[in-house]
Amino acid sequence: MYIRKPHKRNVMIEIDSLSLEEWYTCLKPYQKITIEQLVSKYGEERAAEEWLTARGPIQTVTFGGTQTNVTETSKYWSRFKDEFDKLICGHPDYDKEQRKFLTAGKTIGLGSVTALANWLAPIINMAPAILVPALVLVLHTTAKMGIKAYCSTKHFTNK
């Protein structure tokens, strides 16, 4: 195993610099209410984590009768962040998706959230609709920092 720096490209994908309220327009009303409450309590990135790892009421069982596994729910956040970082920062696993953004001359914006959720959902093993609120928050946070600065802190591990 070795640590590999993100793939370098001449052109970086950009994220639209929108206000959090503008990003919220991607959300369904029930999601927006919950996300706003989580953001006010935890801040944006932690709110995204709380959203993805929420287990619902205590002592409930999932469809099929098995109890929700705490270890598995905590892995959703790390898988989400790993895949998001690879997509945004130019990892070769996402060359096809990155080329789509770059050849269209697009930045990642409101219209891209659903596509991103659809690309990441099967990898993370979550429904795209569940990923949208977390994507909105992480995209907003990343846009504030800037992609170049954000990606400069990322290093991928090859297995």
Among candidate residues 150, 44, 157, 145, the one with its CA nearest the CA of residue 89? 150
pLDDT on residue 69: 57
pLDDT beneath 50, residues of the chain: 1-10, 58-60, 63-67
pLDDT digits (tens, 9 = 90+) for 24-45: 999 999 999 999 999 999 999 9
**Residue indicated by tokens 């990923």:** 131
Residue 98: count of CB within 10 angstroms of its CB? 22
Those residues with Cβ within 8 angstroms of residue 148's Cβ, 6 or more apart along the chain or in another chain: 12
pLDDT on residue 65: 47
Helices (H), 3-69: 20-24, 29-42, 44-53
pLDDT on residue 84: 92
